[in-house]
Amino acid sequence: MLRFQNVSFTYKNENMPIMENLSLYIEDGDFVSIIGASGCGKSTIFRLINGLEKPQKGRIFVNEKPIEEQTKYAAFMPQNDLLFPWWTIEKNVCIPMKLSGVPKKEQEIWCREVLAQAGLLNYINKYPKDLSGGMKQRVSFVRTLLTGANMLLLDEPFSALDYLTRVDMQEWLLSQWEHYQKTILFITHDVEEALFLSKTIYVIQDVPFSALEEVPVPLSYPREREDLKKPEVVELKEILIEKLRKKGET
């Protein structure tokens, strides 16, 4: 689905590169989390995938085709919901379809279908101010889905939520991933969140980095919150936390 081939990148006015000769391969339909200390380059990976930044060296492929030859191959969901407060939930959700020229009747059909799947159909004519934080994030995810992209880039989408809402959203996100079968790349600082959601966790330990440490999560799907108490998961959590702590001290 996604392949980095010897990618190097340095921000303008910076002397040290973020990544050097990075090669990375992610399978279609995977749920992958990327963890690392602040400023290590997690969001830079997303910016490169989206084409917001261009590598100085190397190439990025989606389905073995260079990204510069494609459009609508990836959709981005940021930390904040970025809903327009003066528009109804329906109008907010329909934005990507409207920009793509989808006929209005078809927009209405798809909007209702995905809002129903998200448990939000009764809020279709409400405004963002009428929704809780978790509901707004669900609307934001629904809008991301309706871009039509098969790869979703989620950058700490639950970081601003309280703990219980975040737990609910993690469980809800897994149900949506299983339903829609998209490829998801998920940035988080929360090791437990990464363990609960992911098939594989990629750890950034050095800057610049030329590889991401690949850590398979020893859990199958579907998952329960109780799975996080399994000895092998508890042990892995401590190992990952220690990796991040050591990086934070350097």
Regarding beta strands 57-62 and 31-36, do their DSSP bridges make them parallel or antiparallel, or are they unpaired?
A: unpaired
- Distance, CA of 87 to CA of 92 (rounded, Å): 6
201-218 pLDDT tens trace: 999 988 889 999 999 999
Which residues in 30-39 are b (16+ Cβ under 10 Å) and which e? bbbbbbbbee
Tell me the domains of the chain and their CATH numbers.
1-73+156-250 (3.40.50.300), 81-148 (no CATH)
Dihedral sign for Cα 115, 119, 120, 122, please: positive
- Look at 206 and 107; give whichever has higher pLDDT: 107
- Distance, CA of 52 to CA of 161 (rounded, Å): 27
Q: Tokens 């610049």, residue? A: 208
pLDDT band at 247 (very low <50, low <70, confident <90, very high): low
Paired with 134 in beta bridges are: none
By the 8 A CB rule, do 89 and 125 touch?
yes
- Distance, CA of 184 to CA of 151 (rounded, Å): 6
Measure CA 176 to chain center.
13
Has residue 250 got a pLDDT over 80? no
Hey, how many other C-beta atoms are within 10 angstroms of the C-beta on 235?
Answer: 11
154-190 pLDDT tens trace: 999 888 888 998 999 999 999 999 989 999 999 998 9
What is the Cβ-side half-sphere exposure of residue 233, based on CA atoms within 13 angstroms? 22
- Distance, CA of 119 to CA of 121 (rounded, Å): 6
- Distance, CA of 53 to CA of 61 (rounded, Å): 15
Tokens of 149: 């992209």
Paired with 8 in beta bridges are: 57
- Distance, CA of 72 to CA of 92 (rounded, Å): 18
Task: Label residue 83 exposed, middle or buried (CB < 10 Å: 0-12, 13-18, 19+).
Answer: buried
Helices (H), 190-230: 191-197
By the 8 A CB rule, do 201 and 35 touch?
yes
59-98 pLDDT tens trace: 999 999 999 999 889 999 888 888 999 999 999 999 999 9
